Amino acid sequence: MTAPTPAQAPAAQSPAGSVPDAAELAEIRQTLAAYAHIFDDHDLDRFHLVFTEDVVIEMTRGAGTVTRGLAEIQAFAASLPEGGLDHHTLDTVVFIGEDGLVRARSRYLALLADQSVHNGEYLDLLTRTPAGWRIARRISVPRIPHGPRVPLSEEDRRAWRPRS
């Protein structure tokens, strides 16, 4: 899996390892939190409030899947039964990567319709659009339950490692 070039760079280049200012952090966290509500409520016509038009989502569970663009993500979400998922986004760390791009690393809990619980991490690349901060790339990395998955590339592993 290779990283796409985001539609736009952050509003201002910041030193690697730094964090966006408080207002940007609040807006980024709002965007990340909105994902769970919009996705779980099957609010397909509001995905543009969370993702860029050309977003890429990489799911690493099993053999892995890559979904490209809002239309493909909406079609995927529409294929799922309503009430089948309940997401919770937790423990988000937002930082400027060595490449100058804004990254977020969040833990998630997902409660499934069969009442099983899955958890993992969302590795997000964010970009500022005219409408606000949006996710341009998301890698979903499962932690539990354990099972087959596509390993993260060393480049991605390093890119989402927060620095102090």
Look at residue 99 and tell me if it is in a domain: yes
Look at residue 115 and tell me if it is in a domain: yes
Look at residue 3 and tell me if it is in a domain: no
Length of the chain: 164
How many other β-carbons are positioned within 10 Å of the β-carbon of residue 20? 22
Look at residue 134 and tell me if it is in a domain: yes
Look at residue 56 and tell me if it is in a domain: yes
Helix (H) / strand (E) element for 78: namely helix 70-78
How many other β-carbons are positioned within 10 Å of the β-carbon of residue 116? 9
The pLDDT of residue 136: 97
Tokens 């663009």 locate to 69
Domain extent, residue 140, equals 22-159
The pLDDT of residue 4: 45
Look at residue 94 and tell me if it is in a domain: yes
The pLDDT of residue 114: 87
**The model's pTM:** 0.86
Look at residue 8 and tell me if it is in a domain: no
Look at residue 132 and tell me if it is in a domain: yes
The pLDDT of residue 38: 92
Residues 6+ apart with CB under 8 A from 12: none
CATH code: domain of residue 62: 3.10.450.50
The pLDDT of residue 9: 41
Are the CB atoms for 111 and 83 separated by under 8 Å?
no
pLDDT tens digits, the chain, 164 residues: what are they? Answer: 444 444 444 444 556 667 888 999 999 999 999 999 998 888 999 999 999 999 999 999 988 999 999 999 999 888 887 777 788 999 999 998 888 899 999 999 998 888 889 999 999 999 999 999 999 999 999 999 888 999 999 999 999 987 65
Sheet containing 132-144: order of strands: 65-68, 51-59, 132-144, 117-129, 102-112, 85-96
The domain total for the chain is 1
Pick the closest to residue 1 from 149, 163, 142, 106 (CA basis).
149
